[in-house]
Structure formats: structure tokens, C-alpha cells
Amino acid sequence: MRGYRGAVLRFADDRSALYEEDGLLVIGPDAAGRQVVRAVGPYDKLAPDYEGIAVEHLPGRILAPGFIDLHVHFPQTDVIGSPADGLLPWLENYTFPHESRFADPAYAAEVAKVFLDELVRHGVTTALTFATSHPQSVDALMAEAQSRGLRLIAGKVLQDRHSPDGVRDEAVQSLLDTESLIRRWHGTDRLGYAITPRFAPSCSEEQLRGAGELAAKYPDVWIQSHVAENKDEIRWVHELFPAARSYLSVYDDFGLMRERAIYAHCIHFDDEDRALMRSTGAAAAVSPTSNLFLGSGFFDYEGAERVGFRYGLASDVGGGTSFSPFHTMLAAYYVGREGQTKPGVSLGPQALWWQHTAGAAVALGLEGVVGNLQPGCEADFVVLDPGATPLLARKVAHARNLDELLFSLVVLGDDRVIERVVVDGH
């Protein structure tokens, strides 16, 4: 066992932040040999029980849960900042041509390293990730994540229509490939698999049906896709699936709505869609930098809270503009203000931080496993330096309470604040 003494941030079940200014975090193996939080609390209360262990003192530093990115595309690392009139031209002109390069396993392996370096450098220790339609892109990413001991969930993209040569797959083979990737990677070390229909317009009914059958056969495998992101996309879905009540209900009709199903964007919803999210236990990956960059729209936080479905924050790189959870939280704050109808601060810093850590873990069905520093959680955490930049240091020195401290970090923070990242206790 090992201890870290510093300020400690974690979250209670009611989403509020728990903060020990002078705390102790004790890490060690559980009965199954996993590196977990063995104890956490005020230093003066806990220290007498752990006199025999080595404790590293980190004055002025904050220990916080590793961030969770609920939706990101590893093959779009180099697509960041590609401007387009909207989602569909962006896919056609930048994203699909770039993703075709991942047929080459050596290229996929090289980008996998860069991608995971970027995630970890920004304090992200768990991600739900799209690969490309090439099974070898999943192998490259999983192998690299495995060698780093990361908790990562990824899947081969399914897209057998309305997709150009180079990324288009074929229904029967794509489903065989998906099942063999599930068997190879799901539950291997800290890795998980996600069945990954790109979005309804890129998948034939046969492919969606097969995806739903796999989702039923492997209930603890994740599902990830996109929904209700862009108005042109939604019009197209109505043409392709005229019998469906809404875009979201297409996925329900094919058995793709359940717990552990994560849908990116969820912007242009009505209350029936929201009720379907709630009743099925599916979750939304809110991707504000992407939605602002591509001009897609604004996630309706008040609607989500009124109906009560799960959601968390995501970068959606490369539609998204940054790997930084701080940038994503700040963009979410702007979006929350845009949709705000009630007075008061729309999304406080504790709520924003929760959405990128413990709340994202709830969305993934990994509550108590990652995204928090409560006892029993896996030992993935970041050491934050609130004095990392001169302006931040000045601002934090004047913070009178936890909200002011966290808001300073949300607004002024970036990768410079991430002083150290501990993954699986290392």
C-alpha cells in the first residue's frame, strides 16, 4: 500500500463534491489483486491507521479522479480543426478520407500511441472510443491500451452503406468481425468492447439488426453511436426510415437501446426521445466543443434533468476541438447558459466536473469502478497543480470556497494543470 497526502476531490452519490483540504488517499491491491482506493479521508483522522506505509506529501496539489471521455474517435486525432459547413460535408470531405488510412495496421498503431499519449497527458484515464471500420484499427488501439494498463472501451465502426470505398464494410463480414473482436478483447485486462454502428444513415437494416442481435447476446458489451446531432442528418434519417417515430427510435427498433448504450450528441430530441433514453437506461455523451465547432446545436440540459436520463461529457475529437476536459467543461458551461431558462448559475463547477468523472462512470455502468476516488474505486487519478500558470495561481489564491476554486480550474485550466497521472496504481 502507498499513500498520497494532498487536497482530495471526490464525489458523493448525490453528485456533490467532497473535498478534503488536507487529505490522505491510500492505494493498494484488493482481494482480486486490482489496484484500488483502500482508504480516503482527512489526513489527521486516517494517518494513525496507516503509520507503516510510505506517504508522499504533495503540498498545494489536488488529487482528483482521472477524467472519463464518454465519446471520442481515435482515428480523428489528426482531423481536429477541419472546418466544414456542417456534419455531413465534414464527414465526406475530411473524416472518411482520413479514416481510410487506418486499413494500414502500422499507421493505426502509430496513431494509437499518439492518441493515448494525448488522452493521458490531459488527465483522461478512461475513454469510450470509436476506431474505424477496419478490424485491425481496433487491434492496434486495444494492444496499445493494454500495454499501458488503461481502462479503454472501443469498437470497430459498422458502416455498410452511404460510405465511400476505403471505409465501407459489408453487413455479414462486419458482424463476424465484431463478434470475433468481442471475444478477443472484451474483458481482457481492463479493456471493453463497444458494438459501434456509426449512425443510422451509414448502416443497412441488416447491419443494424445484426448489431442488435449481438447486443442481446453480449449484454455487458457496450453500444455506441451518434444520434440527433444535425438537422440535415435528421431529415436524411426520416427519408431512410420513414416508419420510425424519431431518429432515436430507429435504434430502439433494432434492439440497440439498453443500459451501456451511449449515444453521442442527443441534441434535437423531444420529450418522447428523452423518456426512451430514461426507460431503456441508455446515456447521452454530451460533446459541446464538437457541437459548437460543427454548428450542430446545444444539448438541452434542462430537458435532460426534467425527464431524468443519464449523461456525461465527451470530447468527440475530431469534431471536438480539444482533448482537454477543462476545455470541454467550459464549453458545456457556455451551452448550459445558452439553454438556461431559470435564474442562477446554469451549470456549477461541481456539476460540470461530475459529468466528466463520476457521472460519466454512471453513464457507462462503471459507477464505483472508475471516475471517483471512493474506497474500492480503481486507482486512476490525476495530481493537479492549481499554480500551473501565473494567472491561475493568482485566481486560485483568491478562491473563497470550493466552487470558486473549481470554476477557476474549469475556466483557466488545460494540460499544464495535469502534473501527474496515475493509471492502475502506477
Q: Which residues here bind ligand GUN, judged by CB under 6 A?
A: 73, 87, 91, 95, 198-199, 226, 229, 290, 316, 319
Q: Residue 29 Cβ, how far from Zn ion at the closest point, in Å?
A: 36
SS3 content of the chain, % helix, strand, coil (to 5): 40, 25, 35
Question: Which letter, b or e, does each residue of 182-196 get, where b requires 16 or more Cβ atoms within 10 Å of its Cβ?
Answer: beebbeeebbbbbbb
* CB nearer ligand GUN, residue 77 or residue 290: 290
Q: How far is residue 95's CA from residue 315's CA, in Å, rounded to a whole number?
A: 16
- Given ligand GUN, Zn ion, none, residue 252, with its beta carbon under 5 to 8 Å by kind, binds none
* CB nearer ligand GUN, residue 17 or residue 157: 157
Q: How far is residue 137's CA from residue 156's CA, in Å, rounded to a whole number?
A: 8
Residue 281: CB atoms within 10 A of its CB come to: 15
Amino acid at 315: S
User: Do the beta carbons of residue 328 and residue 322 sit within 8 Å?
Assistant: yes
Closest by CA position to 280, among listed 248, 305, 306: 248
Work out whether the CA dihedral 168, 170, 171, 173 comes out positive or negative.
negative
Question: Is residue 233 close enough to count as binding Zn ion by CB under 5 A?
Answer: no
Angle at 152 between CA 247 and CA 105, to 5 degrees: 90
- Given Zn ion, ligand GUN, none, residue 190, with its beta carbon under 5 to 8 Å by kind, binds none
* CB nearer Zn ion, residue 202 or residue 372: 202
- Given Zn ion, ligand GUN, none, residue 181, with its beta carbon under 5 to 8 Å by kind, binds none
Size of the site for Zn ion (CB under 5 A): 2
My answer on whether omega of the bond before 318 falls inside 30° of 0, hence cis, is: yes
Q: Residue 95 Cβ, how far from ligand GUN at the closest point, in Å?
A: 5
* CB nearer ligand GUN, residue 319 or residue 336: 319
Q: Within 13 Å, how many C-alpha atoms sit on residue 135's CB side? A: 15
Amino acid at 305: E
Q: How far is residue 215's CA from residue 211's CA, in Å, rounded to a whole number?
A: 6
Position among 264, 335, 360, 417 found at the interface with Zn ion (CB under 5 A): 264
Q: How far is residue 366's CA from residue 371's CA, in Å, rounded to a whole number?
A: 8
Q: Residue 246 Cβ, how far from ligand GUN at the closest point, in Å?
A: 17
Q: Residue 332 Cβ, how far from ligand GUN at the closest point, in Å?
A: 16
Q: Which residues contact 2 (CB under 8 A, 6 or more apart)?
A: 26, 27, 28, 53, 54, 55, 56, 425
Q: Which parts of 95-114 interact with Zn ion (CB under 5 A)?
A: none
C-alpha cell belonging to residue 413: 485550466
Position among 179, 316, 385, 414 found at the interface with Zn ion (CB under 5 A): 316
Q: Residue 335 Cβ, how far from Zn ion at the closest point, in Å?
A: 16
Q: Residue 319 Cβ, how far from ligand GUN at the closest point, in Å?
A: 4
Q: Residue 149 Cβ, how far from ligand GUN at the closest point, in Å?
A: 28
C-alpha cell belonging to residue 265: 450528441
- Given ligand GUN, Zn ion, none, residue 91, with its beta carbon under 5 to 8 Å by kind, binds ligand GUN
* CB nearer Zn ion, residue 264 or residue 383: 264
- Given Zn ion, ligand GUN, none, residue 4, with its beta carbon under 5 to 8 Å by kind, binds none
Q: Residue 305 Cβ, how far from ligand GUN at the closest point, in Å?
A: 24
In the complex, the residues that contact Zn ion under the rule CB under 5 A are 264, 316
